[in-house]
Amino acid sequence: MDARNPLPILTETADPALERDARALYGAMSDLIRVYQFRDRDRICCHDVSVSQCYALEAVVRQGGMTLNDLAAHLYLDKSTASRVVDSLERKGYVTRIPHPSDRRAVLLEPTAAGRDLYHRIEGDILAEERSLLAGFDPEIRRAMTSLIARLARAAAERVETGGGSCCRVE
């Protein structure tokens, strides 16, 4: 790090194979994420929600009642941003806030019936596309890809700070 730039200076490692693999992974993941982001935007926007709102709705549907803090951490957002996302979902009738059973200061976010229905419609559209994408791969390759991507996601999630914007903070 230097005083003008709080971000660490990226350097190559002493292991050329690791460096090559890191660059290849970066390129492949950038391509995959870009394609999926645009796919999600194009599929989800037809359903009256943004991608962020869809991710929030998905979390609330899959996990059931959760607090705003839990949702913010799950989405890697700060609490105020998560609150704005939830406010918009609540205005649209897709989530509701109910009293927390053990903490009188907190509320739980719950999906409404309309929210569950919307999530399942979006999920159905995306799963149809995934089936089409995977149809050309052998079953063992499909399982290996899924396992590897899930493992990579878990490893990456362990290194991500919740709360958003951590790269911009000067400690």
88-131 residue pLDDT tens: 999 999 999 998 888 888 889 999 999 999 999 999 998 998 99
| Residue 32 counted as domain residue | yes
| Residue 106 counted as domain residue | yes
| Residue 11 counted as domain residue | no
CB atoms under 10 Å from CB of 115, counted, come to: 23
| Residue 40 counted as domain residue | yes
| Residue 148 counted as domain residue | no
Q: In whole angstroms, what is the distance from residue 111 CA to residue 46 CA? A: 20
User: DSSP labels for 99-139?
Assistant: E-SS-TT-EEEEE-HHHHHHHHHHHHHHHHHHHHHHTTS-H
Instruction: Tell whether the torsion through CA atoms of 142, 143, 145 and 149 is positive or negative.
Output: positive
| Residue 59 counted as domain residue | yes
CATH of the domain at 75: 1.10.10.10
Domain that holds residue 89: 18-125
| Residue 116 counted as domain residue | yes
| Residue 153 counted as domain residue | no
**C-beta pairs of 26-29 under 8 Å, 24+ apart in sequence:** none
Taking the model in full, what pTM does it have? 0.77
- DSSP H or E run through 35: helix 16-44
State the total domains in the chain: 1
Identify which has the larger pLDDT, 7 or 133.
Answer: 133
Q: Nearest CA to 163 among 42, 52, 78, 39?
A: 78
Note the pLDDT tens digit of each residue in 38-81. Answer: 887 887 877 889 989 999 999 999 998 899 999 999 999 999 99
Q: So what's the pLDDT on residue 66?
A: 93
